[in-house]
Structure 1
Amino acid sequence: MAEVLVLTYSGQVSIPTSLEVASVERFSSFNDILTVLFKRGNIETEINHATVVVLDDGKPSSSSLSKLDGLSFEDKQIILTQFFSHIHPIILALSLLEEQAKNVNKAIKVIDAFIGQRIVRVESWTGTGKKNIDDYSETTIPSSVPVLLNEFPLDSTVNTMQSILSRSTGTSPFKLGHLQLLFLILVEEIDFLSLLSNTSQAHLAKLCHLVGHWSFPANELSNDDLVYCAYLILHYALQFQNTTNTDLHIPTKNELLCLLFLVRDCYRCGSPFHNFRHAVDVLQACFHYVVRLDCLPIFKQFEVNVKLDECGFLNSTRRTYDVVELAALPIKISYKYLTPIELLGLLVAALGHDVGHPGVTNAFMIKYNSPICQIYNGRSVLENYHTAVFTSKILSVGWPSILNQKTDEDNETIKNLIISSILATDMAEHFEYIDRLNKFDYANSNHPQRAKLILALLIKCADISNVTRPLRVSSQWAVTLSREFDEIAKLEERISSSSTPANEHEEVRYNKVPLKLEDILDANPMIHKGQIFFINTFAEKLFNNVVKLLPELQYTCNIISENKEFWLARD
């Protein structure tokens, strides 16, 4: 059943009794609707129903006029479809609500059929099922609800990878400029820090310390906490950018937080592993790498001991500082491996490297001939998708100046470095990168592709850094990854079955991953099998070769070895 959000400037409005919805919320300002929608990103439950947004098409009183309320109906519609596609909004004018109730009910039923259950959502999102919302004929489900209804201007689609990609990359320069303007209005009108669920000084100071730990407890943090952790990292890196001779725009705190909210909402929180939590974990790993490589100065909250138990800070039993930002120590840095703009490109790439990940593999996308697979000819399907959506839907709108920045040495654009870095995370290219490492001239510090290779290697290492984290943290990630593989198996069973599964309408629910290692092992007695396989096949070779080029990262190899011994002892 759908929910209804009603924006009315003229007081109470009656909802037609024929409208088949579960709940109704009324708002007197567009700001309040957007605030509610942004806050929902902290509730890590994937949307499994339609959201009807009814917008007053009249004018608000001048005394209560904000810039967001002063926008036209069409601009409000653009904001909802551009930044909140994950809620599958049915948007219509208040003046049409009564006469179009029947058609709205039709739209709700169509949407519910495609997103009512987790496995069905993945099938719909990837376009691999027997019914594809992006296909259109007179006898099948049409490409969008407006075509189905065809009676009034209802802007609503069951958003899929294909439709998101089409809207993200098919934007004209004029519309892109308009989207950038709407983004700036969001920044001006909404205080994004206030949207976080816990903004106490003690809590934000604790997050500063957790960012400083190699045993970063991402699975113990809320989505709001992760937004602030990502903010801390990017804000810190931006302090060391030399903007004297560039046009790089340094985002304000609110701009950066707004951008991070948009990134978070582009990740699918229903995916057990490939979600915003994984993105921030990879970002934090890259951040530690560049600090240890002397590309950024050590900060006060940085923990040198990579094995120190972070649970003391997590449970507030250790002393924390009062500062709510990362405090740099007065240490001179060498930039031996990367320039400031290159390392910024790496961190930005890490943040967006899995945007819109559907929770399946490239092999799955290719096997079932998904529409996205056809677009990218079966080569790095997901990685190409992530780069396109991240650069076109998010960065081009919220931070366009970073894309055109160029490196100091080889005049490469940061956009190209972001793209090449994300493409490097394709595991199908894993052994090719190891081969390139083996042939690399380590003594030649002026190698023209040196920085590009280092960026690719760092994000690759960060992407699979779970097995290099201390054992408790590493085990938590192993559990979430196994859950995602289980979902893929269920989806394959559904696709290959000639009959409708008996449990088709049962929602997939997961208990929180246990905190303690012994509880994780008790609940997942076979977890060591996958860990041994992955370490032996992929991780060990990559990290052992990387430390030849970047010896400062030797600690990752040491932890892999210890973890591997632990898992072998359980085999």
Structure 2
Amino acid sequence: MTHCLNLGAADYLVKPIGSEVVKTLWLNVLRRLRKDERLQTFSRDATLAEMIVNYYTPPFRRVDPLDFPRLDEIAAQERRVHLRAKLLSWSFSPHALSEDDLLRCVEIVFMDVLSLDDLEMIHVSQDLMHHFILAIRSSYHATNPYHDFYHAADVLQATYYTCCCMGLLPDRTTDYQQFESTAESLGDAQSSRYALRRILRPKDVFALMIASLGHDVGHPGVNNYYMINARTPLAELYNDQSVLENYHATSLFLLMRKHGLHFHDNDQSSVFKEFRSTVVNAILATDMSTHFDYVRRIHAQTERIRELSQPSSTVEVTDADRRLLIAAVIKCADICNASRPFAVAKVWCRELMREFAMQSALEKKMGMPVSMPVDDTPVAQAKSQIDFISALAMPLFAAVSQVIPQLQFTVDQLSANKSTWEDIR
């Protein structure tokens, strides 16, 4: 009897079925069902996470890969050449592209990454990739002036550009060498490439691209300060810690599961678990409340990069090395708009100030302290950008350019933009 119960039997009959036996059997079955329901609540198939995520993300809609913009073979090839040239330029401006071309840009990035060696464990058909890109686009709120699919594509391009500069996509050459300051540091850049390629493997690059495109999935158009002050369900769920970033990571993987977007054969495999960990850690790194801790750690990484850059070095690359370099890349990409050529940076500033104004209006309506600037004049925009560059962007890019010398030009561009903003103010 004990053996049968241990195997999962709800009950064990030791005599012919009578009224008392039936009653006992019924109670044991109910008890077993309740236990199963309790376990189900904490299982990966539970609906609680989906309910919470769906509260903030746009309504779920089916995605048809056939909706992806298509051209005939010759036209498609010509368009890819044209768009790839834009992707390899730091002047990239998603607002200057049609939505169809923006989708094509995302596809080109993933085509280039998936062409790398050692990615045979990742199975992505063209239909699956189109499905994924369309699903990601539909998960961003188009009504957000700043945190929308254009921002997602911008961050993806900045990550792609940086990886090309680092030599991680060896067949792609960016325009970074045209900048005088970077040209002067080419010696350092060449030696650092060896170390950077040792640290980031092709599968890390793929995970980084997924994180870059999906890092703000379902963004509600308000920041963590609002989420916490308003005591939103998400803030309480994540105990006020990296509220939106945790939500974005949860939403991204739920979205992939909901749409059947499986890039790996088995989501219980060590390969998938490593992929998931890389994506989640990258997204969490975009929380600005941890910004200065990352800047400090990136500064400290400079000497280690020098050690790893020596071909004769016996220093082993660690998971911590990979996580920190991935964080450095995505953090720069996330706020890269301040370091774009001024004409591009100005457009992003305008959209960001519009989103700030929307949050301020919501805070007033909710009777909360107003935390965002409501003045959208050129002078207010200039002051906002000067403060942002000085306090946040410049320290980060200066630290990262020591690890990735190819990005030295971004420090100079930040300085130039700051001077232009000061003239406006």
Q: What is the TM-score with the length of structure 2 in the denominator?
A: 0.72
Match for residue 399 of structure 2? 545
Distance 1:195 1:164 in 2: 34
- Deviation, structure 1 residue 385: 0.4
Q: Which amino acid aligns with 1:559?
A: Q
Alignment of 1:282 onto 2:155: yes
Shift of 1:248: 2.0
1:548-568 alpha-carbon deviations (Å, 9 max, x no partner) = 222221111121111122222
Tell me which residue corresponds to 1:212.
88
2:52 corresponds to 1:162 = yes
Q: Deviations along 1:181-207, whole A, 9 cap, x unmatched?
A: x98xx55xx3633499xx766555432
Q: How many residues align?
A: 339
> What is the match of residue 418 of structure 1?
279
* CA apart distance, 1:243: 3.8
1:458 maps to 329
1:242 Cα shift?
A: 1.4
Cα offset for 1:271?
A: 0.3
Mapping for residues 391-402 of structure 1, pairs under 5 Å? 391-394=253-256, 397-401=260-264
- The answer to whether the 8 Å contact 2:166/2:406 transfers is yes
Q: Structure 1 residues 192, 277: CA separation in 2 closer, same or farther (over 3 Å shift)?
A: same
What is the alpha-carbon distance in structure 1 between the residues aligned to residue 245 and residue 300 of structure 2? 25
Contact 2:89 2:175 in 1 (8 A): yes
Equivalent AA in structure 1 for residue 300 of structure 2: K
Alignment counterpart, residue 303 of structure 1, candidates 164, 171, 175 = 175
Other structure's SS at 1:401 match = coil
Unmatched 5+ stretches in structure 2: 1-49, 181-192, 309-315, 369-375
SS in 2 for 1:349: helix
The AA in structure 2 aligned to 1:429 is: T
Q: Which amino acid aligns with 1:425?
A: T
CA contact (8 A) 1:165 1:389 kept: no
Structure 1 or 2, whichever has the larger Rg, is 2
d(CA) in 1 for partners of 2:76, 2:86: 16
Give deviations 1:434-486, integer Å, cap 9, x for gaps. Answer: 12223335244335211110001100010000111111111110000000000
Q: 1:428-443 to 2 correspondence within 5 Å? A: 428-440=289-301, 441-442=303-304, 443=306
Alignment correspondent of 2:187? none
In the aligned structure 2, how far is the partner of 1:353 from the partner of 1:221? 21
Alignment pair present for 1:226 and 2:102? yes
Aligned residue number for residue 252 of structure 2: 390
CA displacement 1:122-156 (0-9 Å, x = unmatched)? xxxxxxxxxxxxxxxxxxxxxxxxxxxxxxxxxxx
Aligned to 1:483: 354
Structure 2 vs 1, CA of residues 243 and 539 (structure 1 numbering), >3 Å: closer, same or farther? closer
Alignment of 1:338 onto 2:192? no
**Which amino acid counterpart does residue 150 of structure 2 have in structure 1?**
R
Q: Does the residue aligned with 1:215 lie in a helix, a strand or coil?
A: coil
Output the amino acid matched with 1:439.
Answer: A
Q: Distance in 1 between the 2:332 and 2:269 partners?
A: 25
Calculate the TM-score normalised by the size of structure 1: 0.55
The verdict on how the C-alpha distance between 1:556 and 1:358 changes in structure 2, with shifts beyond 3 A counting, is same
SS at match of 1:360: coil
Cα distance change of structure 1 residues 243 and 210 upon mapping to structure 2, 3 Å threshold = closer
CA contact (8 A) 1:215 1:469 kept: yes
SS in structure 2 at match of 1:526: helix
Name the % identity: 31
| Higher RCO by CA contacts (8 Å cutoff, separation 6 or greater) | 2
> Do residues 493 (structure 1) and 356 (structure 2) align?
no
Distance between the aligned counterparts of 1:210 and 1:433, measured in 2? 30
The CA distance in 2 between the partners of 1:416 and 1:278, in whole Å, is 23
Question: Displaced runs of 4+ in structure 1, greater than 6 A?
Answer: 165-168, 402-405
User: Which of these residues, 134, 142, 146, is aligned with residue 261 of structure 1?
Assistant: 134
Q: Which residue of 2 aligns with 1:240?
A: 116
Name the CA distance, whole Å, in 1 between partners of 2:51 and 2:288: 21
| Deviation, structure 1 residue 525 | 4.2
Matches within 5 A, 1:52-67: none
Asked if structure 2 preserves the Cα contact closer than 8 Å seen for 1:272 and 1:483, the reply is yes
Query: Deviations 1:245-282 (Å, cap 9, x if unpaired)?
Result: xx321x12222111100000000010000000000000
Number of the residue aligned with 1:142: none
Displacement after TM superposition at 1:546 (Å): 1.2
Q: Is the 8 A contact 1:266 1:356 kept in 2?
A: yes
Supply the distance in 1 between the matched residues of 2:115 and 2:76 (Cα, whole angstroms): 24
Aligned residue type for 1:162: I
Partner Cα distance (1:493, 1:233) in 2: 41
> Which residue is 1:271 aligned to?
144
Equivalent residues in 2 for 1:96-107 (5 A)? none
Cα deviation digits, residues 351-382 of structure 1 (max 9, x gap): 00000000000000000001111111110000
Q: Which residue of 2 aligns with 1:145?
A: none
Find 1:193's aligned residue among 54, 60, 69.
Answer: 69
Instruction: Kindly indicate which of the two structures has a greater share of residues assigned to strand.
Output: 1
2:221 to 350, 359, 363: 359
Give the structure with the larger helix fraction: 2
Matching of residue 534 in structure 1 with residue 388 in structure 2: yes
Asked if the contact 1:213/1:303 (under 8 Å) is kept, the reply is: yes
C-alpha distance in structure 1 between counterparts of 2:412 and 2:199, whole Å? 22
CA positional deviation for 1:209: 2.1
1:395–1:569 Cα change, 3 Å: farther
Give me the CA root mean square deviation. 3.1
Would the aligned equivalents of 2:57 and 2:219 in 1 still touch at CA under 8 Å?
no
SS at match of 1:377: coil
Distance 1:229 1:395, change over 3 A: farther
1:10-89 aligned within 5 A: none
